[in-house]
Amino acid sequence: MMGRLEGKIAVVTGAGSGIGRATAVMFAREGAKVVCANRNEADGAETLQSIKAAGGEGIYVRTDVRQKSDIDRLLRAALDTYGGVTTLFNCAGVLVHKPFLEHDDEDLAKLFETNFRGYYWTMQAFLPVLVKNGHSSVTNVASISVMKPETNAYLYGAFKAAVNKMTRDMIREFSPQGVRLNVICPGPVQTNLTPEWVRNSPEARKQIQKEVCPAGRLGVPNDIAYAAVWLASNEADWVTGSTIVIDGGACNMG
């Protein structure tokens, strides 16, 4: 039985952990050849090992999306290894969680460089190849911060909203050329971006689940990866310009 992504060549940024890792592994299980991009080499290598253990095929390319030269090298590696790219999944991200007046210029630069400019540079580099291949897709990971107010996530939410706006606007230019562009907005998913006080406290997690998740639990990375597989597959051939919220109902909690 063929996988849902048989014949696809996928590049996943932020593939070293959390949603990026879960998506890279699931892409591979569904038959895609996966190029794993991540800044931390140990984490990237671990993701590649998981892909191969699952019977999948892929490579790891050390990539810091804050460096344009790294993104260019990532593209060359994908082309040299697999001859093309059909799927781009942008997931590299950082979180600064603090009151507004405590933000400083370092926070602004950190969030802008990774959470917005990294997406912008990656799409600029890869879109000519995606257009050339046709029947291609881009999925950008944003956040439910785009959809609802969130305390202490001001700059994070602002740049995620900018990614959402940019992606949806881009369909007018690129979807007629055979590239679908969509956004996934995850809710409270347990990853390494989850604040430490939540990760280390079962009581805090239970309280958050009670307050913000009608589904009764926090999300896990695979909850997002399942949607990423669908968006990358031919099953989603008529889906472009969509912002898909996957949040256990959190956006409905006010």
- The tokens for 106 are 């370092």
Residue 127 lies in a domain: yes
For the chain, the first-to-last Cα distance in angstroms comes to: 44
Number of domains in the chain: 1
Return the structure tokens found at 74: 């990532």
Q: Does residue 197 have a pLDDT over 60? A: no
* pLDDT (0 to 100) of residue 188: 86
The stretches of the chain forming alpha helices (DSSP H) are 18-29, 41-53, 68-82, 105-112, 118-133, 154-174, 196-199, 202-212, 221-232
Q: Which residue do the tokens 């968006």 mark?
A: 231
251 within domain boundaries: no
Average pLDDT over residues 75-84: 98
Domain assignment of residue 3, yes or no: no
210 Cα distance to chain centroid: 26
Domain CATH number, residue 23: 3.40.50.720
In a domain, 249, yes or no: no
List the domain range (segments joined by +) for residue 126. 9-243
Measured CA angle at 164 (ends 159, 165), to 5 deg: 95
At 148, is the secondary structure helix, strand, or coil?
coil
Q: Convert 65-98 to b/e letters by CB count within 10 Å (16 or more is b).
A: bbeeebbebbbebbeeebeebbbbbbbbbbbbbe
Q: Would you place residue 150 in the very low, low, confident or very high pLDDT band (cuts 50, 70, 90)?
A: confident
Amino acid at the residue 208? I
Given a cut of 80, whether residue 2 has pLDDT beyond it is: no
Residue 1 included in any domain: no
Name the residue with higher pLDDT: 99 or 205: 99
For the sheet containing 57-62, what is the strand order?
Answer: 57-62, 33-38, 9-13, 87-90, 136-141, 179-186, 243-246
- Tens digits of residue pLDDT in 22-75: 999 999 999 999 999 999 999 999 999 999 999 999 999 999 999 999 999 999
Residue 2 domain flag: no
d(CA 96, CA 82): 36
Q: What percent of the chain shows pLDDT beyond 70?
A: 91
**Which one of the listed residues 60, 82, 119, 156 is annotated catalytic?**
156
The per-residue pLDDT for range 212-229, each reduced to its tens digit, is 778 878 889 999 999 999
Q: Residue 253: what pLDDT?
A: 73
Tell whether 99 is covered by a domain: yes
Q: Which residues contact 76 (CB under 8 A, 6 or more apart)?
A: none
Three-state SS for 246?
Answer: strand
CA distance 236 to 138: 12
Q: Is residue 254 part of a domain?
A: no
Judge contact between 18 and 189, C-beta under 8 A.
yes
DSSP string over 118-145: HHHHHHHHHHHHHHHH-SEEEEEE--GG
219/158: higher pLDDT: 158
Question: By percentage, how much of the chain surpasses pLDDT 90?
Answer: 80
Active site residue 156: yes
Mean pLDDT of 68-84: 98
Closest CA to 154 of 163, 145, 162: 145
**Average pLDDT for the chain:** 93
Among candidates 24, 77, 70, which has minimal Cα distance to 46? Answer: 24
Comparing C-alpha atoms, which of 16, 22, 17, 23 is closest to residue 41?
16
